[in-house]
Amino acid sequence: MNAGYLSLLLVVVALILVLSGWKDILLRGMTPTSLLLFFVLWIVLLPLSFEWQSIQFSGSAILWIGILSYVFVSMRGSLLRFHLISVSLLLSSVYFFLKETIHLMPTIMIWNATFTTALMVGVLAAGLLRQPGLQIAAITAALLLGESMSLYAHRDTAIVVIGHAGAQDLWWLSIFTARAVSLLLEAMGNAVRGMAKRVADRLRIRKP
């Protein structure tokens, strides 16, 4: 599959899920207006790009920077900001490590390098952050930082492009993974709590 096709497919899937009423389950806390604005900006900015000091920024990178800035500014509490920054740095380190070394460790690869990286980044984001907005912000920051480090490491042999089609695939796949894992963990937690409650009720009834 060519780079960019996966992100296009996931955009369509995300639109279908949001319009079919899954927003309150998948993206709690996000307003319909903000989601509509995001999809409109994604469609409008995707074909655009600009160059700054020999670094080319795609339209998706511009939108990612905007998302990250908005989430960080709108957050309440220094501790939560520090937690988001620390998680973002961890995820960016994982992303950079996998991007540079995964071709040397084919045994850990699941399907392909993009899917493996997205799976690990998404699972970590779901395990360390609960709110969908914070998960998206952490993944966005990790992708921007990790991609920047990788491009800087190969600045003499590659054109520096932030937000290329492959990065778009990875971003969307990481977010889908994070939300899917979050829902799975939430369902497992509810099941365990329900089971513990039923056991406690039965023990309470049996007491003389």
- Segment 158-193, tens digit of pLDDT: 667 777 888 888 999 999 999 999 888 888 888 888
Does residue 10 lie in a domain region? no
Distance of CA 75 to the CA centre of its chain: 18
* pLDDT value of position 139: 93
Of the candidates 126, 103, 124, the residue with the CA atom closest to the CA atom of residue 114: 103
* pLDDT value of position 16: 85
* pTM assigned to the model: 0.86
Does residue 188 lie in a domain region? yes
* Domain assignment of residue 156, given as a range: 70-208
Does residue 117 lie in a domain region? yes
Q: Percentage of the chain surpassing pLDDT 90?
A: 13
Does residue 56 lie in a domain region? no
Q: 137: Cβ–Cβ under 8 A, 6 or more apart, which residues? A: 67, 68, 71, 72, 84, 88
* pLDDT value of position 1: 61
* pLDDT value of position 208: 56
Which parts of the chain have pLDDT scores under 70? 1, 54, 154-159, 206-208
* pLDDT value of position 91: 93
Does residue 146 lie in a domain region? yes
| Token pair of 94 as six digits | 């994982």
How many domains is the chain partitioned into structurally? Answer: 1
Does residue 65 lie in a domain region? no
Does residue 174 lie in a domain region? yes
What 22-30 contacts at long range (C-beta under 8 Å, 24+ apart), as own/partner pairs, is 25/183, 26/132, 26/179, 26/183, 27/132, 27/179, 28/131, 28/132, 29/131, 29/132, 29/133, 30/132, 30/133
